[in-house]
Amino acid sequence: MTEIWNGLVKAVELIISFDPEVMQIAGRSLLIAVSSAVIGSAICIPLASIIHFNKFRGKRFLVSLIQTFYSVPTVAVGLFVFVFISSAGPLGGLGILFTPPAIVVGQVILITPILLGLTISALNSVDRTILDTARSLGAGGWQMAVLVVKEARFAVMAAVIMGFGRAISEVGISLMVGGNIRGFTRVITTAISLETSKGDIELAMALGIILIIIALVVNIVMNRIQQR
Amino acid sequence: MSLKSRKRTPIAGALLIVFMLVGLIPAVIGCTEPESEGEFPLRDPLVRFKIATTTSLYDTGLWYHLEPIFEELANVEMDIVYAGTGIALEYGRRGDVDAIIVHDKAREDVFIADGYGLNRRNFGYNFFLIAGPPDDPAGIAGLSAAESMTKLYNEGIMGNVKFVSRGDDSGTHAKEKLIWKEAGFDYEDVQNSGEWYVEAGKGMGPTLLMANEMQAYVMADISTFLAYNLKRDLSIEPLVDKDSIFLNVYAAIAINPETHPKAKIDIANQFINWLISDEVQEIIGTYGTAEYGRSLFFPIASCDMPGCPPVEDYTTPVPAYMK
């Protein structure tokens, strides 16, 4: 019990005192996860729209396949990206292994299925009657598309938040392709893993609490934006 | 969906992509320079020197101490990736780092012979130990390493004791296998001998914690044991630690630029020579004294038992690299 209490006390201390290293790690976690969510959204929202608005053979299978990859293990993505960007790998020339962009690449791959799948669901769930009304009023193809995306924006936003959540909470990719380098690629989750292995359980717990606080703040902000 | 709308949607999609790409710009700029804030300013000109180091040197905090000194000296930004010896060697083979710090002579020899590494220098050492419950149900206290393992095996298969192994191909795991071999066991037989032999697949710290929770026996390097004991107040204690096979020698190896042309051999050489310099040797000999009442590692020159590297091995500076 004392351990849990001490973890809480330590978290409050670290936050109040603006411990520079912890703040830096938290900032880096946030920046990397936000970058992944933004880049992922930039790729996935248009792609999901294309999938949704077009009829083609194997569409249902494709959607099932996307949904299957919701549960891809982070370490598997980490290993996959590592093999590609390692010096000996096909993209080794980029030299991005053990840098923050490498983590972003991995996280984008990780959250792509979630963003795609949930955006497609969001577009599917737009009320048919709205579409029919719009069409009867003479709306053209792209007007219809914009309308659907507009109508579905809350659900699409939920998909983005979900992707962000998966990105900021993953540890497998950050550890494998980031390398957990102090002052460069160390993020909250890898710091938790390191501090645990060093035996600083209280510090590790404090970092976990800070991660949850960040997620809470991001969600509150996103909800505010949605309600406007 | 009507035929008409299908034809036109790619345009809408393209518009969305353009729109999103604009939103992406700040993120890309942002993620290339997240390290520019805080207390780790980047060096100018920016040269990143990457090493992979064994976990025991990292977990004890030694690198936190040494890193800024070398960064200042060589005007580089040092990236330290910590990994067990097995992974560190793999990073080296792939050319993902410029130098490695490992502790497994047999595999180091293969690594160098295969042309992946050069300029190995030993720069420090300490000892392994076998720890277990204070009441020592297997009765190994005072025995040799090989005798202890034999006894643990015999008691283990009867279900009286447990042993937690790193099981992760680290230097510590390699040493454990070596001791099994010395005791006359085939390692695969040990692995398959029952539930008493637990393969943790974790770093040294978590493995110690696991042994502590299970009141099991465990082999550890003394520095991690002391560091962990101070923080977690372990209820297992060292039982066997006097055996020359427990000698644990740390080595630095530069990555061979002939195999990996991008490897920063000049910095790696400077780094290795710095590790065997009097300045660093003195730090190694005193590091941890304040916290633990004894140093965690020993300067390599004080090593004088069977298994220690020959003197010229660490007193000769690494020569400058020429093609």
pLDDT (mean) for A143-152: 84
- Give the confidence band of B275 by pLDDT, cuts at 50, 70, 90: very high
Burial of A100 (0-12, 13-18, 19+ CB in 10 A): buried
Contact A97, A87 (CB under 8 A): yes
CA B131 to chain centre: 20
pLDDT above 60 for B198 = yes
Query: Would you tell me how many other CB atoms lie within 10 Å of the CB of residue A37?
Result: 27
Rounded to whole angstroms, the Cα distance separating A29 from A187 reads 5
Rounded to whole angstroms, the Cα distance separating A23 from A104 reads 20
The predicted structure's pLDDT at residue B313: 76
pLDDT above 90 for A61 = yes
Q: Do the first three CATH levels of B48-126+248-315 and B128-246 match, i.e. the same topology? A: yes
Which overall architecture, per CATH, does domain B128-246 show? 3-Layer(aba) Sandwich (3.40)
- Give the confidence band of A227 by pLDDT, cuts at 50, 70, 90: confident
Phi/psi of residue A23, nearest 5 degrees: -65, -40
The predicted structure's pLDDT at residue B35: 40
The predicted structure's pLDDT at residue A18: 84
CA atoms within 13 A on the CB side of A67: 9
Please enumerate in sequence order all residues whose Cβ is within 8 A of that of A7, keeping only pairs 6 or more positions apart, or say none: A201, A202, A204, A205, A206, A208, A209
The predicted structure's pLDDT at residue A127: 83
What are the sequence ranges of the domains in chain B?
A: 48-126+248-315, 128-246
Which overall architecture, per CATH, does domain B48-126+248-315 show? 3-Layer(aba) Sandwich (3.40)
In the block, tokens 């910095």 appear at B267
Rounded to whole angstroms, the Cα distance separating B236 from A55 reads 66
B chain contacts of residue A168, beta-carbon cutoff 8 Å:
none
Q: Which of B263, B320, B310 is nearest to B122 (CA)?
A: B310
Please enumerate in sequence order all residues whose Cβ is within 8 A of that of A105, keeping only pairs 6 or more positions apart, or say none: A81, A85, A96, A177
pLDDT above 60 for B12 = no
pLDDT above 50 for A38 = yes
Please indicate whether, in this complex, the C-beta atoms of B231 and A53 are within 8 angstroms of each other.
Answer: no
pLDDT (mean) for B171-194: 95
Rounded to whole angstroms, the Cα distance separating A105 from B32 reads 12
Burial of B115 (0-12, 13-18, 19+ CB in 10 A): exposed
pLDDT above 70 for B15 = no
Dump pLDDT digits (tens) for A168-207. 999 999 999 999 999 999 999 999 998 888 878 888 888 9
Please indicate whether, in this complex, the C-beta atoms of B12 and A98 are within 8 angstroms of each other.
Answer: no
- Domain A2-227 fold is MetI-like fold (1.10.3720)
Q: Is the ipTM of this complex over 0.85?
A: no
Please indicate whether, in this complex, the C-beta atoms of B55 and A197 are within 8 angstroms of each other.
Answer: yes
Dump pLDDT digits (tens) for A120-135. 999 998 888 888 888 8
Dump pLDDT digits (tens) for B93-116. 999 999 999 999 999 999 999 999
- Residue with the bigger pLDDT between A90 and A135: it is A90
Q: SS3 for B59? A: helix
Please indicate whether, in this complex, the C-beta atoms of B94 and A31 are within 8 angstroms of each other.
Answer: no
Token readout for A93 is 């020339």
The predicted structure's pLDDT at residue B41: 53
Token readout for A64 is 């099932």
Rounded to whole angstroms, the Cα distance separating B72 from A107 reads 34
Burial of A88 (0-12, 13-18, 19+ CB in 10 A): exposed
The predicted structure's pLDDT at residue B49: 96
B chain contacts of residue A35, beta-carbon cutoff 8 Å:
27-28, 30-31
Instruction: Number of A to B CB contacts under 8 A, please give it.
Output: 155
Dump pLDDT digits (tens) for A67-88. 999 999 999 999 999 999 998 8
Dump pLDDT digits (tens) for B16-53. 444 444 444 444 444 444 444 444 555 555 899 999 99
Give me the residue from A43, A86, A146 closest to B96, CB to CB.
Answer: A86
